[in-house]
Amino acid sequence: MRAFFVSLSALLLTACGLSPMYAGGGDGVVARGLAAVDVAPIEGQAGWLVRNALNDRLGAAGAASPQYRLDVRLDDQLEGLAILRDDTVSRERRTLRARYQLIDLANGEIVLDATAGSDAGIDVVSSEYATIAAEQTALENLAEDVAQRIVTRVALTLRGES
């Protein structure tokens, strides 16, 4: 009886239409498409971090013949959230937002125009060095998160599911 349910479950899963995103591994449609994306330079420290994270995930660093260009504009905000009675900030929020476009280099068509973003909370402590280090770490983590969101959306677009 158990074998029957296992086989029935396997049959139902194959009938649902789900298929792996990276089917075919490095030779799959999505992997080849991602490797053909050239990331344009992005301004600022946050831009440098996001661009490096994108290139790491896309595998496009040094791709011979890019078919797409990814243009990214960032908005990096740091704001005080919790103000104490003595007008000092005890908590900050760092927000990193990206507006990006995937452009087909063959015809200049915008294939994808979207946004991605992430934010992090930062405790402001008495040590200025510790606070600056926390702000920097937050920016690095946000850059990784935003890059992952962009790559996921680009992969879905190249797969034809956006």
Domain boundaries of the chain, sorted by first residue: 26-159
Using a 10 angstrom Cβ sphere, with 0-12 exposed, 13-18 middle and 19 or more buried, the burial of residue 58 is buried
Which residues lie closer than 8 Å to 65 by C-beta, 6 or more apart? 36
Using a 10 angstrom Cβ sphere, with 0-12 exposed, 13-18 middle and 19 or more buried, the burial of residue 102 is buried
Residue 115 or residue 5, greater confidence: 115
CA-based Rg of the chain, rounded to a whole angstrom?
21
For residue 162, is pLDDT > 70? no
* pLDDT in the model for residue 16: 55
Class assignment of domain 26-159? Answer: alpha beta
For residue 109, is pLDDT > 70? yes
Mean pLDDT across the chain: 84
